[in-house]
């Protein structure tokens, strides 16, 4: 079994001993993992002592109280972020300070656990944190080692489909057995929830498929002339049903015909993700504008929207794997957190660039530049 070090920084001895007791014999299992996770518990009554343990023993998971003698929990969190330590942090907080925990989550904490917590609540949080930690580390390993562990990575992510599938099956079974009544209107809530789960599964599957299309080695026979206008039109057709539902208007402006040398599947990934996001994170009745232009050497595509926008802090992490903007407006929007990281990797394969300008409550503009004849295929 693999051992994860869990550091508990809390000035209440009862909390520290309770965590130790709950997690002492607890283990986490995931499909396709080589071994289970067990936990070694470390304790610190203050932020200063906690930082010393972080420096010497390198914990994997940190359970962090905010109200501490001396330096506060958010200061410890900031220290971890500045040092860029690979530590998953969960804030332990009372209900009265949940706003602090939410802010800490936005500042890099993985989760928060309200006091008082039950053994099951703690175990559930640790299980989720362990899963995210595993996915993050295996992604990093894949970036270093290439394709060797791709199957394992995709298999673990595919496991995420099981929960929503079970939920949809449950809702359908309730309808089949007419548990809520005879009329179809009696099941409106169940239908809405099923559709939401299905959308989440669809997004995850599409991102997984896109991920498998990113190749570390390119082959000349797959490179061909790609008409960017046709690629844009195809992506618009794909997202049109959701745009109609959101009452979002999509406009395409082709200033100059743009044809580049590329793999059509790669360019499709770029357009599908960026146009889909422009609709998904828009406001009801909003607008999306796609512009295609070119210079002598490169194609320039801009994707602008009148959506909810992205804060300056979130912009700095937006292209990381599993990154999702967390706020009240995005809570009910499904996504895997892989889309933009995939887009950036594809663009970089062609020696291109992607830039973002965004302002909360105003909208976002993504600008993609792709060489017409990239030097990727040597």
Comparing CA positions, the residue from 320, 264, 260 lying closest to residue 292 is: 260
Per residue in 283-333, pLDDT tens?
889 999 999 999 988 999 999 999 888 888 777 777 765 555 554 554 455
The encoded tokens of residue 335 equal 């996504």
18-51 pLDDT, tens digit per residue, is 999 999 999 988 655 567 889 999 999 999 999 9
Q: Given CA atoms 22, 89, 341, 246 in this order, what sign does their dihedral have?
A: positive
pLDDT at 97: 59
Give me the helix-helix angle, 188-213 and 339-349, nearest 10°: 20
pLDDT at 336 (0 to 100): 52
The backbone torsions φ and ψ at residue 20, rounded to the nearest 5 degrees and listed phi first, read -60, -45
**Tell me: the pLDDT tens digits for 89-143?**
988 877 545 566 566 766 778 887 878 888 988 998 898 888 888 777 766 665 5
Distance CA 239, CA 206 (A): 13
Distance CA 183, CA 156 (A): 39
Using alpha carbons, select from 35, 52, 46, 55 the residue that is nearest to residue 8.
Answer: 46
Question: How crowded is residue 226: how many other Cβ atoms within 10 Å of its Cβ?
Answer: 20
Over pLDDT 90: what percentage of the chain?
33
CA–CA–CA angle 214, 159, 176 (5° rounding): 125
In tens, the pLDDT along 46-91 reads 999 999 999 999 999 999 998 899 998 889 998 998 898 989 998 8
DSSP SS3 for 374 = coil
Residues paired with residue 93 on neighbouring β-strands, in sequence order: 114
Residue 162 has pLDDT above 90, yes or no: no
pLDDT of residue 265: 83
């Amino acid at each position: 079994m693999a051992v994860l070090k869990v550091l508990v920084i809390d000035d209440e001895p009862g909390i520290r001993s309770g965590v130790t007791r709950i997690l002492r014999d607890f283990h986490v299992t995931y499909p396709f993992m080589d071994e289970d996770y067990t936990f070694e518990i470390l304790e610190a009554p203050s932020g200063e002592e906690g930082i010393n343990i972080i420096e010497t023993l390198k914990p994997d998971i940190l359970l962090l109280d905010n109200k501490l003698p001396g330096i506060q929990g958010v200061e410890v969190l900031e220290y971890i972020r500045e040092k860029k330590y690979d530590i998953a942090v969960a804030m332990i907080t009372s209900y009265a300070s949940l706003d602090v925990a939410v802010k800490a989550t936005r500042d890099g904490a993985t989760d928060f656990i309200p006091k008082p917590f039950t053994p099951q609540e703690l175990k559930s949080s640790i299980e989720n944190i362990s899963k995210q930690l595993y996915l993050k580390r295996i992604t990093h390993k894949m970036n270093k080692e290439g394709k060797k562990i791709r199957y394992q990575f995709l298999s673990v992510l595919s496991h995420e489909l099981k929960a929503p599938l079970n939920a949809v099956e449950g809702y359908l079974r309730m309808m089949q057995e007419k548990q809520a009544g005879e009329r179809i209107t009696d099941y409106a809530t169940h239908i809405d929830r099923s559709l939401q789960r299905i959308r989440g599964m669809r997004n995850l599957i599409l991102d997984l498929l896109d991920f498998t299309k990113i190749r570390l080695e390119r082959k000349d026979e797959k490179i061909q002339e790609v008409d960017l206008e046709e690629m844009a039109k195809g992506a618009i057709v794909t997202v049109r049903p959701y745009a109609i539902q959101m009452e979002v208007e999509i406009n395409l402006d082709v200033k100059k015909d743009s044809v580049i040398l590329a793999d059509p599947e790669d360019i499709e990934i770029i357009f599908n993700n960026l146009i889909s996001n422009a609709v998904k994170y828009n406001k009801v009745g909003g607008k999306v504008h796609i512009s295609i232009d070119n210079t002598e050497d490169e194609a320039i595509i801009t994707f602008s929207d009148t959506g909810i926008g992205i804060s300056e802090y979130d912009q700095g992490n937006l292209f990381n794997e599993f990154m999702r903007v967390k706020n009240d407006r995005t809570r009910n929007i499904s996504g895997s957190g892989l889309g933009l990281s995939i887009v950036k990797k594809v663009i970089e394969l062609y020696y291109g660039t992607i830039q973002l300008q965004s302002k909360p409550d105003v909208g976002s503009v993504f600008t993609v530049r792709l060489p017409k004849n990239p030097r990727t295929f040597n």
